[in-house]
Amino acid sequence: MDEFMKEALEIVKAQAKVHAMTEEEITTRLRTLAELLRKISTEEEDARDEQERVRHSVREKSILCLECGEHFRVLTKRHLALHGLEPEEYKAKWGLDRDAPLACRALQRERRRRMRELRLWERRGKNGKELPA
């Protein structure tokens, strides 16, 4: 006997103690409850699998488009437009942070390194004009 049937049996036993039930009612409720418990468990597993998929969509050298399942280095506005989404809508739909980059980790690191090398924050004066080099 599987675990769902055991759980359903415990529930039906408790119900039978409260009010009288025929044999047919007991078997019907038992089957119905076992099937509902199985369905709920399957839905929870599917939700967990989906969360794992979203969490692992950004990889070292690629990012997985959760709409079509293709791998890219960057999910561009143009690609997301093919799915009828803006980047903000895509992030909201899949539960990503609003400020999460839609690029692979290697590309994110490379961009950060380049920005540190350029030191753009030091090239401008307080009034916004460029300082002489």
CATH code of the domain containing 57: 1.10.10.1550
**Considering the domain boundaries, does residue 129 fall inside one?**
no
**Considering the domain boundaries, does residue 95 fall inside one?**
yes
**Considering the domain boundaries, does residue 25 fall inside one?**
yes
Write out pLDDT tens, residues 17-40: 888 888 899 899 888 988 888 888
At residue 128 the predicted structure's pLDDT band, cuts being 50, 70 and 90, is: low
Do 107 and 61 lie in a common domain?
yes
Do 12 and 67 lie in a common domain?
no
CA distances from 10 to 19, 26, 29, 59, 86 (A): 15, 12, 11, 45, 49
Higher pLDDT, 96 or 127: 96
Do 56 and 116 lie in a common domain?
yes
Mean pLDDT of 52-66: 86
Write out pLDDT tens, residues 88-123: 999 999 988 899 899 999 999 999 999 999 988 887
Question: 3-class SS at 130?
Answer: strand
Do 69 and 34 lie in a common domain?
no
Do 16 and 61 lie in a common domain?
no
How many residues are given for the chain?
133
Residue 34, H or E segment: helix 23-55
Q: Is the pTM of this model over 0.75?
A: no
Q: Which range of residues forms the domain containing residue 15?
A: 1-39
Structure tokens at 105: 């980790």
Question: What is the Cα–Cα distance from 106 to 5, expressed in whole angstroms?
Answer: 49
